Structure 1
Amino acid sequence: MALLEHDQPFLPALKPAEREALTGLGGRRVFPPGNHLLQEGERDTHVLVVLEGWAVVSTATQRGTTRLTLGLRGPGELLGDMAALDNRPRSATVTALGVVTALTVPGDRFRRFLIDNPHASGLVMSQLSSRLRSADGERRSLASLTVLQRLSARLLELSQGSPSASGAGRLPGVDLPQEDLAAAVGATREAVAKALGLLRKQEIVRTGPRRVEIVDAELLRLLAAGSV
């Protein structure tokens, strides 16, 4: 299970000349918190490169009233490349968690950039492969792991790498409301609330408004692995 990218982000992985060429193809755009950078089902083909801030990638579920969180994307990461390459509708919605500044490049210019820069094209293919493998892992976890296991793994992951996960004088933790945490786990809010209650009762986590703090990370790792 992984919401965060572990490979080097696209922009810093480019060669200096490639980076300069790409930034010259588009312009900056600022997205306020909660605004959609990209929206599922739309047929636009531009790509975005996050310059500052964090965004969440999600998709609608079959129930229609809930969403499944697919990933968190931060500075340097490329968004929207699938629609730019296959000219099909957007497969997910990307929403700004805070203020997000992004480079916007029209799809036709991005495709030409990849033709002219084979190294950059290879990076995009590697990213697509990595995200496909991650999606396969998510499907396996939904089919084989309990809500408690998935929640434990997600809390550990997000406490280590997500924005504003920890601060001075605070335990490591996650700043998300329960409905967003449920979306990140692929479960109902009620199921996640029940699992949090078990973790809280065993003094593995502490919960507060829009925050879960990790008290015993080692025991949480054992739960995520199904070892206890």
Structure 2
Amino acid sequence: MPEPTAPEPPWPPGTLMAELSTGDRAALERLGNPRAYRPGSALMLEGDRDTEVSLLTGGYVKVLGGTEDGGTALLAVRARGDLVGELAAIDGHPRSATVLAVRPTTVSTVDGAAFRALMRERPGLAAAVQRSLTAKLRAATRHRIDAGAGSATVRVARTLDTLARRYGHADPAGLRIGIPLCQADLAWLTGLSNASVQRALRRLRQDGAVTTRYRSLVVRDLGALRATADLPAVTGG
């Protein structure tokens, strides 16, 4: 007899899929076409005029934006359960960012016109997409504030706190951030140099707040991390 397959894990809290009703979730999944991407390959390119949306079903992606000096800035990370590309699908304007796979990534791609039609048919889905976009805008605004204020250690601690609360999962050593970010990624997210991020991580390790390995970071003490970030302590169980 074939071995039973493991049940699909629930959609991560805070993602669009976790917020949808069972019916809206199933309707969105029925429209999608599966695709797979290798690490470093592009799901979407800034400036392109296609309007497909992609539901991430596995892996992680980076959202990158071009800077005025010709460089690249890491704007956000997205993971399983998140939707990318919905802005172009809704307003028809060119892509505002490039989306690259960080690790082997699977998606369910939906045509932009079909996505808009589904939102018209299902007000609950449309409301959830609107809330998701609002949350992304708030997070981007908060990130601009956090990344531009405080010492390097404070800025790194605030960024790690956001990532831990958004993408962290239980680990024997604490709360593992489930995204394989390197120091260069953290430098992009915080607007700091690689050397400044390295010094900040050393300080956080010395304080017992985090443990770092190659492309792996565990928050050992969330209270200590938030204290360094000058953020209020998390209350409740």
The answer to whether TM tops 0.5 is yes
Contact 1:52 1:74 in 2 (8 A): yes
Change beyond 3 A, Cα 1:212–1:122:
closer
Q: TM-score, normalised by structure 1?
A: 0.80
Once the two structures are superposed, the pairs formed by residues 167-178 of structure 1 within 5 Å of their partners are 170=173, 172=175, 175-178=180-183
Superposed CA deviations along residues 2-26 of structure 1, whole A, max 9, x for unmatched, are xxxx964223433333333323323
Q: Which runs of 5+ in 1 are unaligned?
A: 1-5
CA distance in 2 between counterparts of 1:75 and 1:176 reads 16
Count of matched residue pairs: 219
1:221 maps onto 2:220 in alignment: no
The reply to whether residue 23 of structure 1 matches residue 29 of structure 2 is yes
Quote how far apart the aligned CAs of 1:50 are: 1.3
- SS, match of residue 128 in structure 1: helix
Q: What's the CA shift for 1:33?
A: 1.9
SS of aligned partner of 2:148: helix
Corresponding position of 2:45? 39
Q: How does 1:60-209 map to 2 (within 5 A)?
A: 60-70=66-76, 72-159=77-164, 161-162=166-167, 170=173, 172=175, 175-200=180-205, 205=210, 207-209=212-214
TM-score w.r.t. the length of structure 2 is: 0.78
Q: Is the 8 A contact 1:60 1:68 kept in 2?
A: no
The answer to whether the 8 Å contact 2:66/2:73 transfers is: yes
Partner deviation per Cα, 1:121-160 (whole Å, 9 max, x = no partner): 1111111111111111112223333321110122334345
Note the C-alpha offset of 1:82: 0.3
Higher RCO (CA-CA < 8 Å; seq separation 6+): 1
- Structure 2's unaligned 5+ residue stretches are 1-11, 233-237
Structure 1 residue ranges, 4+ long, deviating more than 4 angstroms after superposition: 165-168, 170-175, 200-208, 211-217
Q: Larger deviation: 53-62 or 147-156?
A: 53-62
Amino acid at match of 1:9: T
Identity, % of aligned positions: 32
Cα deviation for residue 88 of structure 1 reads: 0.8
1:63 Cα deviation from its structure 2 partner: 3.7
Distance 1:150 1:185 in 2: 6
